Amino acid sequence: MLASYLFSILLWGIALAAPSLEEIRAALATMEDQIIHLALTRCAAPLYGESTASPLLNSLSQAAQTSPSSPSDSSFPGHPPFPPYIDATPSHARWGAAQSNLSSQSIVDYWYKNMLPASSAAHNQTGYFPEASPALAMSSAAFFETVSQRIGFGEEVAQAKVAANHSAFGEHIRRHDAVAIRKLLTDERQEQLVKQRVGNKTEAWQVGAAQNVPAAVLVDLFASYIIPWTTDVEVATLLRRGQKQ
C-alpha cells in the first residue's frame, strides 16, 4: 500500500514537471512540417545515382541516428531492445503490439525503394551532374535525422500523456504491462488527424508546382513508421520508469 502511494506521488511529480499534451503536440506538428518539407525538397530533384550503397549516405545516416532515450537498462524481460529508428528492419513484435503491425523495411529502404522512386522527378536525368550527388545525400541524411528525432520525442510524449491521465497509468506501469500501457497511449483519433494533416499538407505544398510526391506515400511513412515507432518509445519509456521503482 505504501509503495503504491509513493508511486502515485511520483506520477504526480511527473505530471507537474512535464509539458502539457497540447504543447507536445504543437512541437510534433512543427517536426512534422520539417519532415514533409525535407521530403518534398529532396524528391523535387532526380536520384542522381544516390542510393543506399552510397558510402557518403551511409556515413551521414549513421551520424543522423539520434537515440536519446536508449540507456543501458532499456531491455526488459519478455520485451525487445529499445527500437532502432533509421537503418534497421523491425524483426520483433512491437512493444505490446501485434506482429502484423511490423514493417518489412527499414526507413532507409522505404526512402529509396518507395518514396524517391515515387517522385515524378526521380528518373529525370536532364542536366545530370555527378557532383550533385553529395549534396543530395546530405539532404536525405537531414530527412533521416529529423525523422529519428521525431520518433525519439516519444519520451516527452509519454510523460505528457501520464501527466494528463496519471491515475490510469500507475497500475499498468507497476505491473510492466506493455499491452495495457500501449492501449492507453494509443489515440486512434489523434493518429487519424495526423495522417489526414500530412496528406493535406503534402498536396497543398505542391499546388502550382509539379506534383512530385503522391500524398499517400508520405501518409504511409507516418502510418507505418513514425507513429508506431514513436509509440514504441512511449511504451519503453514508461516500462523503464516502472523498472526503476
Confirm whether 55 is domain-assigned: yes
Instruction: List the CATH number of the domain containing 90.
Output: 1.10.590.10
pLDDT of residue 72: 35
Confirm whether 5 is domain-assigned: no
Q: pLDDT tens, 47-99?
A: 766 665 555 555 555 554 444 344 333 444 434 444 456 665 554 456 676 65
pLDDT of residue 48: 65
Q: 208: Cβ–Cβ under 8 A, 6 or more apart, which residues?
A: none
Confirm whether 106 is domain-assigned: yes
157 versus 165: the higher-pLDDT residue is: 157
Mean per-residue pLDDT, 240-244 = 69
Confirm whether 19 is domain-assigned: no
Count structural domains, the chain. 1
Contact in structure between 136 and 42 (CB atoms under 8 Å) = yes
pLDDT of residue 233: 86
Mean per-residue pLDDT, 10-32 = 75
Say which DSSP state 65 is in: -
At what angle are helices 178-185 and 227-243 packed, to 10 degrees? 130
Name which of 197, 221, 223 is nearest 29 in CA terms.
197
Name which of 72, 18, 29, 9 is nearest 193 in CA terms.
29
Lowest mean pLDDT among 22-31, 92-101, 181-190: 92-101
pLDDT band, residue 129 (cuts 50/70/90): low
> CA torsion angle for 122, 128, 130, 134 (degrees, to 10)?
-40
Residue in the structure block whose three cell numbers are 504543447: 23
Name which of 230, 57, 218 is nearest 155 in CA terms.
230
Contact in structure between 181 and 197 (CB atoms under 8 Å) = no
List, as one string, the DSSP characters of 212-232.
Answer: -S-HHHHHHHIIIIIHHHHHH
Give the structural domain span for 238.
Answer: 25-67+82-243
Q: pLDDT tens, 130-139?
A: 555 677 777 8
Query: Which three cell numbers, joined as nine digits, stand for 90?
Result: 523491425
* pTM of the complete model: 0.77
Confirm whether 163 is domain-assigned: yes
**Cα distance between residue 54 and residue 193, in whole Å:** 36
Confirm whether 75 is domain-assigned: no
In this structure, what are the phi and psi dihedrals at residue 78, rounded to the nearest 5 degrees? 85, 5
Confirm whether 104 is domain-assigned: yes
Classify residue 123 by burial, with Cβ atoms within 10 Å: 0-12, 13-18, 19+: exposed
